[in-house]
Amino acid sequence: MGIAKESVVEAIENALALLPAKEIENLLEVPPSADLGDYSFPCFTLAKKMRKAPAIIAKELAEKIPQDDLFNRIEVVNGYVNFYLDKGHLANKLLPKIKKEAMKYGQSDEGKSKSVVIDFSSPNIAKPFSVAHLRSTVIGHSLSRIWEHMGYKVERINHLGDWGTQFGKVIYAYKNWGDEPSSYSKGSIRHLLELYVRFHKEADQNPSLDDEARLWFKRLEDGDKEAYVLWEQFRKTSLDSLVEVYELMGITFDHYTGESFYNDKIPGAIEKLQPFMKESEGAEIVELSDDMPPFLVRKSDGATLYGTRDLAAAIYRQETYKFAKALYVVGGEQALHFKQVFAVLKKLGYDWADNCEHVPFGLMRFGDMKLSTRQGNVIFLEDVLAKAIELTKSIIEEKNPNLDNKEEVARAVGVGAVMFNDLRNNRIKDINFEWDELLNFQGDTGPYVQYTHARACSLLQKGGVPEAANLSLLQEEEEKVLVASLERFPEVVAQAAKGNEPSTVARYSLGLARDFNKFYQAHRIADAEEEVAKARLMLVDGVRQVIALSLYLLGIEAPEKM
Q: Which residues bind ligand ARG (CB under 6 A)?
A: 119, 122-124, 159, 161, 310, 313, 328, 330
State the nearest-atom distance from the C-beta of 122 to ligand ARG, in Å.
4
Residue 1 or residue 117: which is nearer to ligand ARG going by CB? 117
How much helix, strand and coil, in percent to the nearest 5, is found in the chain? 60, 10, 30
Nearest to 386, CA basis, from 415, 422, 420: 415
State the nearest-atom distance from the C-beta of 119 to ligand ARG, in Å.
5
3-state secondary structure of 58: helix
Listed in sequence order, the residues at least 6 apart from 212 whose beta carbon sits closer than 8 Å to its beta carbon are: 168, 172
Q: Are 304 and 221 in contact (CB under 8 A)?
A: yes
State the nearest-atom distance from the C-beta of 269 to ligand ARG, in Å.
14
Residue 154 or residue 556: which is nearer to ligand ARG going by CB? 154
State the nearest-atom distance from the C-beta of 278 to ligand ARG, in Å.
24
State the nearest-atom distance from the C-beta of 241 to ligand ARG, in Å.
16
State the nearest-atom distance from the C-beta of 161 to ligand ARG, in Å.
3
State the nearest-atom distance from the C-beta of 329 to ligand ARG, in Å.
8
3-state secondary structure of 156: strand
**How far is residue 236's CA from residue 228's CA, in Å, rounded to a whole number?**
12
Query: Closest CB to ligand ARG belongs to which residue?
Result: 161
Residue 106 or residue 140: which is nearer to ligand ARG going by CB? 140
Residue 120 or residue 489: which is nearer to ligand ARG going by CB? 120
State the nearest-atom distance from the C-beta of 64 to ligand ARG, in Å.
53
**How far is residue 476's CA from residue 525's CA, in Å, rounded to a whole number?**
12
Partners of 156 in the beta sheet? Answer: 118
Nearest to 7, CA basis, from 54, 91, 47, 65: 65
State the nearest-atom distance from the C-beta of 313 to ligand ARG, in Å.
6
Residue 71 or residue 129: which is nearer to ligand ARG going by CB? 129
Inter-axis angle of helices 406-423 and 381-399, nearest 10: 120
3: amino acid identity, one letter: I
Nearest to 541, CA basis, from 468, 488, 443: 468
**How far is residue 462's CA from residue 451's CA, in Å, rounded to a whole number?**
17
Residue 54 or residue 362: which is nearer to ligand ARG going by CB? 362
Nearest to 542, CA basis, from 110, 87, 145: 87
State the nearest-atom distance from the C-beta of 314 to ligand ARG, in Å.
8
**How far is residue 548's CA from residue 560's CA, in Å, rounded to a whole number?**
10
Residue 92 or residue 122: which is nearer to ligand ARG going by CB? 122
**How far is residue 431's CA from residue 132's CA, in Å, rounded to a whole number?**
11
Reported as half-sphere exposure (CB side, CA atoms, 13 A), residue 260 has a value of 20
3-state secondary structure of 404: coil
Residue 141 or residue 453: which is nearer to ligand ARG going by CB? 141
Q: Are 360 and 331 in contact (CB under 8 A)?
A: yes
Residue 16 or residue 326: which is nearer to ligand ARG going by CB? 326
Q: Are 481 and 543 in contact (CB under 8 A)?
A: no
**How far is residue 60's CA from residue 56's CA, in Å, rounded to a whole number?**
6
Residue 133 or residue 424: which is nearer to ligand ARG going by CB? 133
Check residue 37 and give left, alpha or beta (phi > 0: left; psi -120 to 50: alpha): left
Partners of 380 in the beta sheet? Answer: 130
Residue 384 or residue 454: which is nearer to ligand ARG going by CB? 384
Rg, C-alpha atoms of the chain: 28
State the nearest-atom distance from the C-beta of 299 to ligand ARG, in Å.
18
State the nearest-atom distance from the C-beta of 411 to ligand ARG, in Å.
26
Listed in sequence order, the residues at least 6 apart from 153 whose beta carbon sits closer than 8 Å to its beta carbon are: 111, 113, 114, 115, 116
Residue 318 or residue 509: which is nearer to ligand ARG going by CB? 318
Per-residue CA distances from 407 to 133, 391, 410, 561, 562 (Å): 26, 12, 5, 12, 11
Residue 134 or residue 556: which is nearer to ligand ARG going by CB? 134
Residue 61 or residue 330: which is nearer to ligand ARG going by CB? 330
State the nearest-atom distance from the C-beta of 375 to ligand ARG, in Å.
17
State the nearest-atom distance from the C-beta of 560 to ligand ARG, in Å.
37
Per-residue CA distances from 438 to 407, 415, 510 (Å): 19, 11, 14
Q: What b/e sequence results for 21-36 when a residue is b if at least 16 CB atoms lie within 10 Å of its CB, and e otherwise?
A: eeebbebbeeeeeeeb
DSSP category for residue 66: P
